[in-house]
A and B are shown apart, each in its own frame.
Chain A
Amino acid sequence: QKEVEQDPGPLSVPEGAIVSLNCTYSNSAFQYFMWYRQYSRKGPELLMYTYSSGNKEDGRFTAQVDKSSKYISLFIRDSQPSDSATYLCASTTDSWGKLQFGAGTQVVVTP
């Protein structure tokens, strides 16, 4: 059973639209949830980091975690062409523990 599942896309949206990304996970012990952005031939760049359930907002980005349904979401408001990238969700049981990644969703924001 895959521990973190994520639709690989691609997801194409017009500039200015809201991008909605999500993941599901199976391991109830996961406590920490992250979203990373990855440009082509680059490393994962941390976008959002949350502990347990709840919402977190940072600028145009909002992360949501619902532990009861094992569902992780990322919303990008007022999307820009520069947001075009692959977005990876990741989870772990302890803050220092190994990350389990989703497959990544490719997002394309068209001008």
Chain B
Amino acid sequence: EPEVTQTPSHQVTQMGQEVILRCVPISNHLYFYWYRQILGQKVEFLVSFYNNEISEKSEIFDDQFSVERPDGSNFTLKIRSTKLEDSAMYFCASSEVETGDQPQHFGDGTRLSIL
């Protein structure tokens, strides 16, 4: 069964450094998302991306965050100048949408640890 894949599974970064989290969505999916889950808290929406542009973003997704689809398969989340509070699980999701109502499918996440 097709799945969303995320790399790396665990990223350790010094505070203030830039980090790029990578995702390969399911191949025929057109909508892409990033969510995060701080330990012990809810899964929170960060951003959605469609047709090569951001379609919606949350208050969390400020200027330190950016997303990109650099080629036909990858979808990335960049965090500039990381902070301690950025430590969380980051989940990528994708959905098909154009063939009808379709749910979002999630990857297994990248655990980001900021030191």
Instruction: List residues of chain A with CB under 8 Å of any chain B CB.
Output: 32, 34, 36, 41-46, 49, 51, 88, 90, 95-104
Given contacts A42-B108, A43-B109, A99-B35, 13 further A-B pairs with CB under 8 A are A41-B108, A42-B109, A43-B106, A43-B107, A44-B106, A45-B106, A46-B106, A95-B102, A96-B31, A98-B33, A98-B45, A99-B104, A101-B42
Complex: chain A residue closest to B31, CB-CB = A96
Number of interface residues of B (CB under 8 A): 29
Q: Is B102 within 8 A of A98, CB to CB?
A: no
Q: A77: shortest Cβ distance to chain B, in Å?
A: 22
Q: Which residues of B contact A96 (CB under 8 A)?
A: 31, 48, 50, 55, 95, 97
Give the interface SS of chain B, mostly helix, strand, loop or mixed.
strand
* A-B CB proximity, top 8 nearest: A98-B45, A95-B101, A43-B106, A101-B43, A49-B103, A43-B108, A44-B106, A96-B97
Chain B 83-115 near chain A by CB (<8 Å), digits 1 or 0? 000000001000101001111111111010000
B residues with CB within 8 A of A: 4, 6, 31, 33, 35, 41-45, 48, 50, 55-56, 58, 91, 95, 97, 100-109, 111
Give the residues in chain A near B6, CB-CB below 8 Å.
43
Looking across the interface, which residue of chain A has its beta carbon closest to that of B9?
Answer: A41
